[in-house]
């Protein structure tokens, strides 16, 4: 198996003279959760539909686990599990019967015990004998994931998978994806919920007006880099004394938040030096906190249409 689950090269979709998706290229690694972000109408769903062959590509190549969609369509598609929009089931049948039906349709040989294995993974084993019409929306989404991974795909593709879920359901769904990724399954997910994508993804790409404008790891966005300036908040017993001590020793930008807190713009590694200076100057330091940039802030920096994205 390839260490690259998905490779997209020059993906383009053109309708008449308009390019809906324009020369998009990226890779998803094995065991990685990769997010597609972008304003409404940016082309995210079109990209996903081309990857899973629901619509034709104008140009470009797609490789699933090293297999080309053009040269080995069946082999490549066998490595994909997908939920595009809301998963559909036979509501008069039980969850178990729906999974058995899908098992029979699969090109891959699926052992009977795999049904209970995937049901356990998404925590539906206790509800498999219930008819799907009695399932909540969250349970249907979980059954959709169980169906999508029943044939042990290398890549799971999800388009807005948390639509309609309550906060608890969203959190559970996020945990399921993390469990899948830990087992080696790669996940490509598109969503407009930036706060959830921040908690869910390892890396993300931003799509704007059909073009890929940025790829970055979530750690690069929200983590603390040693050589980057961050606002460091020091809580002390005396803000004025603390500022005086820092300005005497360093050339950092310092501002007062209130009588006990100050903000210093410095690198991560400078925090220890500042703390040492404050203590030697007679200041009591009660807390050191780092202001972290959010995915929403980074998204708004890089796009012109961030206001169109709903962030709940």
Residue 258's Cβ-count burial label (10 Å; 0-12, 13-18, 19+) is exposed
DSSP at 307 = G
Residue 64's Cβ-count burial label (10 Å; 0-12, 13-18, 19+) is buried
**What is the pLDDT tens value at each position of the chain, 312 positions in all?**
568 999 999 999 999 989 999 999 999 999 999 999 988 888 999 999 999 999 999 999 999 999 999 999 988 998 898 888 777 899 999 999 999 998 888 878 888 888 888 888 778 888 999 999 999 888 888 888 888 888 888 899 998 887 767 788 788 878 888 888 998 899 999 988 888 898 899 999 999 999 999 999 988 887 655 567 788 999 999 999 999 999 999 999 999 988 899 999 988 889 999 999 999 999 999 999 987 778 888 888 888 644 443 333
Q: Starting at the edge strand that comes first in sequence, how are the strands of the sheet with 155-159 ordered? A: 80-84, 155-159, 186-190, 33-37, 203-208, 211-217
Q: What is the pLDDT of residue 2?
A: 63
pLDDT tens by residue, 240-268: 999 999 999 999 999 998 889 999 998 88
Contact between 197 and 43 (Cβ < 8 Å): no
Q: Quick one: tokens of 252?
A: 């950092």
% helix, strand, coil for the chain, step of 5: 35, 30, 35
Q: Which CATH superfamily is domain 4-222 in?
A: P-loop containing nucleotide triphosphate hydrolases (3.40.50.300)
Cα 209 to Cα 27, 175, 192: the distances in Å are: 20, 31, 15
pLDDT tens by residue, 64-103: 999 999 999 988 998 898 888 777 899 999 999 999 998 8
Contact between 162 and 169 (Cβ < 8 Å): yes
Residues 6+ apart with CB under 8 A from 126: none
- What CATH number does domain 229-290 carry, 3.40.50.720, 3.40.605.10, 3.30.70.100, 3.30.360.10? 3.30.70.100
Q: What angle do CA 307, 16, 208 make, to 5 degrees?
A: 20
Q: Rounded CA gap, 255 and 182, in Å?
A: 43
How many CB atoms within 10 Å of residue 302?
A: 14
What are the boundaries of each domain within the chain?
A: 4-222, 229-290
pTM to 2 decimal places: 0.77
Cα 277 to Cα 14, 256, 260, 261: the distances in Å are: 61, 17, 17, 16
Q: Quick one: tokens of 76?
A: 């490549």
Q: What is the pLDDT of residue 204?
A: 94
């Amino acid at each position: 198996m390839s260490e690259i689950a998905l490779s997209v090269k020059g993906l383009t979709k053109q309708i008449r003279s308009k390019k809906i998706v324009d020369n998009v290229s990226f890779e998803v690694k094995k065991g990685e959760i990769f997010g597609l972000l972008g304003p409404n109408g940016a082309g995210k769903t079109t990209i996903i539909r081309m990857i899973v062959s629901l619509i034709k590509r104008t140009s470009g190549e797609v490789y699933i686990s090293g297999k080309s969609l053009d040269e080995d369509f069946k082999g490549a598609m066998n490595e994909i599990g997908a939920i595009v929009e809301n998963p559909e089931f036979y509501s008069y049948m039980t969850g178990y019967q729906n999974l058995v039906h899908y098992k029979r349709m699969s090109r891959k040989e699926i052992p009977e015990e795999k049904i209970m294995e995937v049901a356990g993974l998404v925590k539906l084993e206790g509800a498999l004998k219930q008819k799907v019409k009695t399932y909540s929306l969250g349970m249907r989404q979980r059954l959709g994931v169980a169906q999508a991974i029943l044939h042990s795909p290398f890549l799971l593709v999800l388009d807005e998978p948390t639509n309609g879920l309550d906060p608890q359901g969203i959190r559970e769904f996020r945990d399921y994806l993390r469990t899948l990724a830990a087992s080696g399954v790669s996940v490509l997910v598109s969503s407009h919920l930036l706060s959830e994508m921040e908690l869910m993804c390892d890396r993300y790409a931003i799509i704007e007006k059909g073009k890929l404008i940025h790829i970055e790891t979530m750690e690069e966005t929200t983590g603390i880099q040693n050589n980057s300036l961050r606002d460091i908040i020091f809580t002390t017993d005396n803000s004025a004394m603390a500022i005086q001590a820092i300005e005497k020793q360093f050339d950092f930008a310092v501002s007062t938040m209130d009588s006990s807190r100050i903000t210093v713009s410095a690198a991560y590694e400078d925090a220890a030096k500042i703390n040492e200076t404050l203590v030697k100057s007679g200041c009591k330091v009660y807390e050191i906190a780092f202001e972290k940039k959010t995915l929403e802030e980074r998204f708004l920096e890089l796009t012109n249409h961030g206001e169109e994205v709903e962030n709940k």
